[in-house]
Amino acid sequence: MSDGKQERIYCPVCLARFKKEEGWSEGAVVICPICGQKLRLVWSPEGWQGERVDRGTEKEIRERAESFARLRGYSFNEMKEELIEGLVGKHRLFGEFYCPCRMEHTPEYQCPCKPTRGGDVERKGRCYCGFFWKKQV
Amino acid sequence: MTGPKSPEHTRTVRVMAGKPKVYALSTCPYCKRTKRFLDEHKIDYDCTDVDLLDDAKQDEALEEIEKLTGRRSFPVVIIDDEIIVGYDEQRLRKALRL
Ligand SMILES: [Zn+2]
């Protein structure tokens, strides 16, 4: 791929493609700048893919949420641990880390859900579940 | 009737028309807090974890919730004709006369 076109990496959590940076090669571990997921880079015939590190574990969702909050400048409150417990429960019951306070079990409601990635916290001060909060200025 | 309320009267007032009903999600911490609050106050209530129902019963419950509240938010607590969406200790206290 030397046609000068920006290479992109597919994130299996937020289902989006983000820019591949200079120096990233196969096996590198990177953070999806859109959802915060930790990914190991793999080259496939369809292009660059990210493989979820620690897939399905509490560590995965905790790190994803913390990275997402760091990337966006959001904070957590005293409900954080109970909500992580709820996310782990969703994974156990429904196979993915879906919003613990919703009845939606589709890819766009994997935490951080699509409305949250789309700026709900900026607009409303918090995400639907009260997991991510806009910092007070 | 005017005048001071007798203890009997007070007790009568505290008797609720029916058991409070809670619609919850098993993974939702606000639902858990609501249940814990009711348990701590020794309230006898019925609870349905909507996410754990089979498909047919789940559709029925979701329909009922949408009819009652106009949305799909949890928990929903029904105390007589009071409908409380979300974990709201103040409204729970008021509705239960605690
Ligand atoms: Zn992502």
Percent of chain A with pLDDT over 70: 97
Instruction: List all residues 6 or more positions away from A77 whose beta carbon is below 8 Å from its beta carbon.
Output: A130, A133
Residue of A nearest to B50 (CA): A103
Q: What dihedral angle (degrees, nearest 10) is formed by the CA atoms of B19, B20, B21, B23? A: -160
What is the tens place of the pLDDT at every residue in A54-69?
999 999 999 999 999 9
**What domains can you pick out in chain B, each with its CATH number?**
14-96 (3.40.30.10)
Instruction: List all residues 6 or more positions away from A129 whose beta carbon is below 8 Å from its beta carbon.
Output: A83, A86, A99, A100, A101, A102, A111, B28
Is B78 a residue whose pLDDT tops 60? Answer: yes
pLDDT value of position A5: 74
Report chain B's terminal Cα–Cα distance, integer Å: 24
B17 confidence band (pLDDT: 50, 70, 90): low
Q: Class for domain A58-134, per CATH?
A: alpha beta
Instruction: List all residues 6 or more positions away from A96 whose beta carbon is below 8 Å from its beta carbon.
Output: A90, A105, A107, A110
Is B2 a residue whose pLDDT tops 50? Answer: no
Instruction: List all residues 6 or more positions away from B12 whose beta carbon is below 8 Å from its beta carbon.
Output: none
CB A111 within 8 A of CB B57: no
Residue of B nearest to A88 (CA): B27
Is B4 a residue whose pLDDT tops 50? Answer: no
- Hey, are the CB atoms on A101 and B28 less than 8 Å from each other? yes
B14 confidence band (pLDDT: 50, 70, 90): very low
B26: closest CA of chain A, how far (Å): 8
- Hey, are the CB atoms on A83 and B29 less than 8 Å from each other? yes
For chain A, the structural domain boundaries read: 4-52, 58-134
- ipTM of the modeled complex: 0.90
B31: closest CA of chain A, how far (Å): 9
What is the tens place of the pLDDT at every residue in B33-77?
999 999 999 999 999 999 999 999 999 999 999 999 999 999 999
Q: How far is the CA of A76 from the centre of ligand 1 (A)?
A: 20
What is the tens place of the pLDDT at every residue in A69-119?
999 999 999 999 999 999 999 999 999 999 999 999 999 999 999 999 999
- Hey, are the CB atoms on A103 and B32 less than 8 Å from each other? no
* Residue of B27, B33, B49 to mutate when probing chain A, most A C-beta within 10 A: B27
Q: Class for domain A4-52, per CATH?
A: mainly beta
A137 confidence band (pLDDT: 50, 70, 90): confident
